[in-house]
Amino acid sequence: MAEREQLAAVCEAILAVAGEVVPVETLAQAAGEGTTAEEIEAALELLRSRHEGATSGLLLERVGGGWRLATRPELEGVLRSFLGIRSRARLSQAALESLAIIGYHQPITLPEINFLRGVNSAGVVRTLLERKLVKVAGRKQVVGTPLLYRTTKEFLIHFGLNDLNELPQPEELDATAGETVSGP
Amino acid sequence: MDPAVVTPDERPRPQVTLAVFEGPLDLLLHLVRENELSIWDIPIALVCDQYHKKLQEMEELDLEIAGEYLVYAAWLLVIKSRMLLPRREEEQGDPRQELVDRLLAYDKVKRRASELAGLDELRRGMATIAVHAPVQPRDDELVLEEIDVVQLAGALREVFDRHQREHPPVLELEPMRFSVREKIYELYELLQEQRTFPLLSHLLTRPDRLESVTLLVAALELVRLRTATAHQRDPFTEIYLTPTGEPLPTEGLSDG
């Protein structure tokens, strides 16, 4: 048990200086010879529960294929005023719809996105590219060889997902979906 | 029948958002909900009329109507007219089928988008912790990804500077371009032509300092050989060379 405590401390320190998502394997390597991914996972769970239990301003989360330490979302206002910066613009409805399409149907082309949304989405997709939430992933081998788009690791981190399988499936929750179209 | 919205035209069109609708599918979904219609049995005549009425309202508000809305308006009219034609169920499907499929697909997109909106709302204030580590990477450890072109150029500059400091330019001696002997003869010639020769003016007007120096040495040599005398009235005034009448000895001339 003491060993797990020690590993938890090691992971916490590494994640603090990393400043990004760190995969479990990398943590195991850094922790020293013979440390297994399972031991790291156990230590991280211990650390997470500790952050959750205490009134900490930080939290530990599994996201984007690894783990990271982050500030608590509810502290945004305090941090913004300390840093003297304005709140980041909310993603527009058009951006969210395009992201949803790319997220669930990737890889997908712009004409396909346009078709699903019923409107041209070139400008929105460009914004998503700039915000690094999506990336170009080759070309589709059809007439015109349009670019294919995929979501990025940044997308997973932004929405708190470990991998694409964790994308929310609202239709599963709503058994009546497909029967009638009800309000949101 | 594919409306023009699926053309692979990727040129950005003017972004026009009509009222609160994201596009024709959004507007149609709104009409279905507003009238509490079943999506499986859309009264196409009613929806078609309301859709056109909505476009008219937008026009009255002087809003530019994006092309996609007009494509769907035309499509709705086609479906409406097909509904009026007698059809045999087994041969042709419901003319509304494709519209229903698209509306359902778009509704799915909207639900998923709204899930993402919730996550975005919840999480967009989060920042990854990055404690500034006081320990720099060891010097002998080359972290290539942290080096950019500017740093590389700076390092190269430093190498050049150090090389220059440690290897100062060598003192270069230029080969003698003028010989004293040559100048002695030159001065002697001049002294034969004119009785009194203004030496200082001559020296100061030479284009080459080395030539002036050689000339001065030659003049001193002439005085030493007693072929000429030099005199000056006041300090810093003209120095005159006057021939003594003695011929220039052919031996003992400085070779410098």
Q: Taking the mean position of all CA atoms in its chain, how far away is CA B3?
A: 43
Residue A20, min C-alpha distance to chain B (Å): 6
The residue of chain B nearest to residue A19, with distances taken between CA atoms, is B130
Same domain (yes/no): B193, B116: no
Average pLDDT over residues B125-132: 86
Same domain (yes/no): B113, B203: no
The total domain count for chain B is: 2
Give the model's confidence band at A83: pLDDT under 50 very low, under 70 low, under 90 confident, else very high.
confident
Give the model's confidence band at A44: pLDDT under 50 very low, under 70 low, under 90 confident, else very high.
very high
- Find the domain containing B30 and state its range: 4-121
Give the model's confidence band at B179: pLDDT under 50 very low, under 70 low, under 90 confident, else very high.
confident
The 3-class secondary structure across B166-208, one letter per residue, is HCCCCCCCCCCCCCHHHHHHHHHHHHHHCCCEEHHHHHHCCCC
The confidence score (pLDDT) of residue B5 equals 42
**Does the beta-carbon distance from A118 to B23 stay under 8 Å?**
yes
Give the CA radius of gyration of chain A. 20
Residues of B in contact with A18 (CB under 8 A): 130
**CA–CA separation, B179 vs B218, rounded Å?**
9
Chosen for mutation from B27, B128, B135, B145 (greatest number of chain A CBs closer than 10 Å) is: B128
Is a pLDDT exceeding 50 seen at residue B4? no
Option in A68, A94, A116 nearest B106 (CB): A116
The confidence score (pLDDT) of residue A174 equals 55
Is a pLDDT exceeding 80 seen at residue A109? yes
Is a pLDDT exceeding 50 seen at residue B244? yes
Q: Is residue B148 part of a domain?
A: no
**Does the beta-carbon distance from A73 to B104 stay under 8 Å?**
no
Q: Is residue B99 part of a domain?
A: yes
Hey, which residues 188-247 in chain B have their CB within 8 Å of chain A?
A: none
B141 or B34, which is more confident? B34
**Which CATH number fits the domain A2-75, given the four candidates 3.30.70.3270, 3.30.530.20, 3.40.190.10, 1.10.10.10?**
1.10.10.10
CA distances from B100 to B5, B35, B39, B107, B140 (A): 17, 16, 7, 10, 66
Residue B3, min C-alpha distance to chain A (Å): 9
**Does the beta-carbon distance from A73 to B25 stay under 8 Å?**
no
Is a pLDDT exceeding 90 seen at residue B12? no
Same domain (yes/no): B187, B116: no
State whether residue B12 sits within 8 Å of chain A by CB. Answer: yes
The residue of chain B nearest to residue A145, with distances taken between CA atoms, is B8
Chosen for mutation from B7, B22, B34, B41 (greatest number of chain A CBs closer than 10 Å) is: B22
Average pLDDT over residues B48-65: 82
Percent of chain B with pLDDT over 90: 22
**Does the beta-carbon distance from B32 to A181 stay under 8 Å?**
yes
State whether residue B64 sits within 8 Å of chain A by CB. Answer: no
The confidence score (pLDDT) of residue A9 equals 92
Give the model's confidence band at B245: pLDDT under 50 very low, under 70 low, under 90 confident, else very high.
confident
* B199 within 8 A of B230, measured Cβ to Cβ: yes
Number of CB pairs < 8 Å for A and B? 172
**Does the beta-carbon distance from B125 to A117 stay under 8 Å?**
no
Is a pLDDT exceeding 60 seen at residue A183? no
Percent of chain B with pLDDT over 70: 81
Hey, which residues 33-52 in chain B have their CB within 8 Å of chain A?
A: 33, 38-39
Same domain (yes/no): B30, B108: yes
The confidence score (pLDDT) of residue B145 equals 65
Same domain (yes/no): B208, B109: no
**Does the beta-carbon distance from B22 to A21 stay under 8 Å?**
no
Q: Which two tokens stand for residue A29?
A: 């390597």
CATH code linked to domain A93-172: 1.10.10.10
**Coil, strand, or helix at residue A137?**
strand
The confidence score (pLDDT) of residue A60 equals 93
Domain residue ranges of chain A, discontinuous segments joined by +: 2-75, 93-172
Last residue of a domain, one of B121, B136, B168: B121
Option in B15, B114, B119 nearest A159 (CB): B119
Is a pLDDT exceeding 70 seen at residue A5? yes
Is a pLDDT exceeding 50 seen at residue A179? no
The confidence score (pLDDT) of residue B207 equals 86
**Does the beta-carbon distance from B125 to A73 stay under 8 Å?**
yes
Contacts of B40 (CB under 8 A, 6+ apart): B100
Last residue of a domain, one of B71, B90, B121: B121
* A154 within 8 A of A128, measured Cβ to Cβ: no
**CA–CA separation, A130 vs B170, rounded Å?**
56
Q: Is residue B89 part of a domain?
A: yes
Backbone angles phi and psi of B21, in degrees to 5: -95, 140
**Average pLDDT along chain B:** 81
One DSSP character per residue, A11-78 reads: HHHHHHHH-S-B-HHHHHHHH-TT--HHHHHHHHHHHHHHHHHTT-SEEEEEETTEEEEEE-GGGHHH
Amino acid at B138: R
pLDDT, one tens digit per residue, over A31-43 is 888 889 999 999 9
Percent of chain A with pLDDT over 70: 91
Residue B130, min C-alpha distance to chain A (Å): 4
How large is the greatest C-alpha to C-alpha distance in chain A, in angstroms? 62
The confidence score (pLDDT) of residue A165 equals 92
pLDDT, one tens digit per residue, over A15-27 is 999 989 999 999 9
Percent of chain A with pLDDT over 90: 62
Residue A122, min C-alpha distance to chain B (Å): 6
**Does the beta-carbon distance from B112 to A74 stay under 8 Å?**
no
Option in B109, B115, B117 nearest A116 (CB): B109
pLDDT, one tens digit per residue, over B79-98 is 988 888 876 655 678 888 89
Q: Is residue B138 part of a domain?
A: no
The confidence score (pLDDT) of residue B189 equals 87
Backbone angles phi and psi of A147, in degrees to 5: -65, 145
pTM metric for this prediction: 0.62
Query: Of A101-105, B55-59, B140-144, which gets the smallest average pLDDT?
Result: B140-144
Long-range pairs of B28-31 with CB within 8 A, sequence gap ≥ 24: B28/B72, B28/B99, B28/B103, B29/A181, B29/B103, B29/B106, B29/B107, B29/B110
Is a pLDDT exceeding 90 seen at residue B137? no
Same domain (yes/no): B104, B14: yes
Is a pLDDT exceeding 90 seen at residue B104? yes
Is a pLDDT exceeding 90 seen at residue B172? no
Residue B38, min C-alpha distance to chain A (Å): 6
Last residue of a domain, one of B121, B141, B156: B121
B11 or B155, which is more confident? B155
Is a pLDDT exceeding 70 seen at residue A176? no
**CA–CA separation, A96 vs B124, rounded Å?**
13
- Across the beta sheet with B228-232, what order do the strands follow? B197-198, B239-243, B228-232
The confidence score (pLDDT) of residue B138 equals 57
Same domain (yes/no): B117, B186: no
Is a pLDDT exceeding 80 seen at residue B2? no
